[in-house]
Amino acid sequence: QKEVEQNSGPLSVPEGAIASLNCTYSDRGSQSFFWYRQYSGKSPELIMSIYSNGDKEDGRFTAQLNKASQYVSLLIRDSQPSDSATYLCAVNIMPQAGTALIFGKGTTLSVSS
């Protein structure tokens, strides 16, 4: 059974702080990794993708991947109240989209002003 694990939270951080969200996955053959943000009552929105070991930065977001440890994380710098949402980690075991994604259950982030 392929699994993606996330701490459900809630993770509470003050405005301006760094929020760190973590995800582990069970299938060592996993090849691509995604972070989605989901606001309450809305659909998941893709915010980051990462395919190779190391860091990938996009604005205030940094995704980190360590395939040896089967670990992927998302850092949000200068957290804003608008970042309050559930963050879903998703893993694809194949390089193409055909096999779909395995999702974690999500971590709820709350940023207080």
Q: Which residues bind another protein (CB under 8 A)?
A: 34, 36, 42-46, 49, 88, 90, 96-98, 100-101, 103-106
Min CB(47)–another protein separation in Å: 11
What region, left, alpha or beta, does residue 32 occupy, with left being phi > 0 and alpha being psi -120 to 50 degrees?
A: beta
Of 20 and 49, CB closest to another protein:
49
Of 59 and 81, CB closest to another protein:
59
Other C-beta atoms closer than 10 Å to the C-beta of 86 total 20
Of 25 and 34, CB closest to another protein:
34
- Would you state the structure tokens that stand for residue 98, as one six-digit string? 């055909």
**DSSP state, residue 67:** T
